[in-house]
């Protein structure tokens, strides 16, 4: 069998040390006496799986453990990371006076294709099955919060309401910048002006939309950073775990002062 070694793009030693510390502390608290892999090797396995999207079968060969062991290792680490991701209230604390961008994305998955409720997950505008994730980003595109996953057919504004994003903004006295998919919650959500069917926008409205797009553009960078994690481009897990994986990735972004590069 041919084997090879390759770097994990975008990550550095502080991220490995952070996850290693989490796993070592978890093992100490749970009274674990022995594992096939050390905390550092388990952390490396999980980071390779999340960042590079390697399957459990590939990881099993590379780390000389069984696929079942890989499954347990990944599930354990992802749960620990997701528990450290900022909650909605934590993400909004201290945001008064700052630009906060609300956006949604679809994570493609075909795991629901043959289920009885497959129509719930069909995203007509994308022509694919997927999971709807909502996120908040700062003025520089740094991700602040990520929601659980909802069926892909869920409208963005409906998803924001279900996750309590609109209510949280009202409680904290904030306004979020959002795209046209969130129209209907003014003035809490600042959205661009939509042109009428037979009525073009006046010059003032066009200029306003340009300014709005310039403010909201960094939010797109936040999701672009998230989708650099290949696990979200080749989803093999059940749809209920996609939101947990996204929050685990968010926790890694917040873990250290060392930024995670796009590539």
> What residue spans define the domains of the chain?
13-83, 88-237
Residue 97's SS3 state is coil
Task: Dump pLDDT digits (tens) for 215-227.
Answer: 998 878 888 888 8
CA terminus-to-terminus distance, the chain: 29
pLDDT one-digit tens code per residue, 169-209: 999 999 999 999 999 898 999 999 988 777 788 889 999 99
Residue 4 predicted with pLDDT over 70:
no
* Bridge partners of residue 100, in order along the sequence: 176
Rounded to whole angstroms, how far apart are CA atoms 148 and 135? 10
Instruction: Cis check for the bond before 187: say yes or no (omega within 30 of 0).
Output: yes
Coil, strand or helix at 191: coil
R_g of the chain computed on alpha carbons: 20
Query: Cα–Cα distance between 51 and 8 in angstroms, integer?
Result: 7
* pLDDT, tens only, 65-87: 999 999 999 999 999 999 999 99
Longest alpha-carbon distance in the chain: 71
The predicted model gives 111-124 an average pLDDT of 85
Token reading at 143: 């991700």
List the single range of 3-12, 19-28, 131-140, 207-216 with lowest mean pLDDT. Answer: 3-12
Hey, is 145 helix, strand or coil?
strand
Residue 116 CA, chain-centre distance (Å), reads 27
Per-residue pLDDT tens over the stretch 123-148 = 988 889 999 999 999 988 889 999 99
The answer to whether the beta carbons of residues 140 and 100 sit under 8 Å apart is no
**Exposed (0-12), middle (13-18) or buried (19+): which is 238, by Cβ within 10 Å?**
exposed
* Angstrom distances, CA of residue 183 to CA of 98, 179, 180, 210: 21, 8, 6, 17
Output the CA angle 172-174-175, nearest 5 degrees: 155
Q: State how far the Cα of 88 lies from the Cα of 189, in Å rounded to an integer.
A: 16
Residues 175, 190: contact at Cβ < 8 Å?
yes
d(C-alpha 131, C-alpha 151), whole Å: 5
């Amino acid at each position: 069998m041919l084997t090879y070694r390759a770097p994990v793009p975008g990550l550095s030693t502080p991220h490995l040390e952070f996850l290693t510390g989490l796993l070592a502390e978890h093992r100490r608290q749970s009274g674990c006496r022995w594992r096939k892999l050390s905390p550092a090797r388990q952390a490396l396995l999980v980071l390779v799986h999340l960042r590079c999207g390697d399957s459990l079968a590939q990881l099993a060969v590379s780390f000389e453990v069984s696929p079942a062991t890989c499954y347990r290792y990944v599930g354990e680490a992802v749960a620990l990371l997701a528990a450290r991701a900022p909650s909605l209230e934590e993400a909004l604390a201290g945001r008064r006076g700052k630009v906060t961008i609300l956006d949604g994305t679809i994570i493609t998955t075909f795991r629901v294709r043959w289920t009885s409720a497959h129509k719930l997950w069909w995203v007509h505008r994308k022509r694919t099955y997927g999971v709807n994730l909502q996120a908040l980003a700062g003025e520089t595109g740094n991700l602040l919060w990520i929601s659980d996953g909802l069926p892909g057919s869920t409208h963005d504004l409906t998803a924001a309401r279900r996750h309590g994003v609109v209510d949280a903004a009202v409680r904290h006295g904030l306004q979020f910048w959002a795209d046209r998919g969130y129209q209907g919650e003014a003035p809490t959500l600042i959205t661009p002006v939509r042109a009428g069917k037979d009525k073009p926008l006046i010059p003032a409205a066009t200029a306003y939309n340009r300014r709005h797009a310039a403010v909201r553009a960094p939010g797109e960078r936040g999701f672009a950073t998230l989708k650099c994690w290949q696990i979200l481009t080749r989803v093999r897990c059940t749809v209920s775990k996609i939101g947990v994986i996204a929050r685990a990735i968010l926790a890694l972004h917040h873990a250290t002062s060392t930024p995670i590069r796009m590539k």
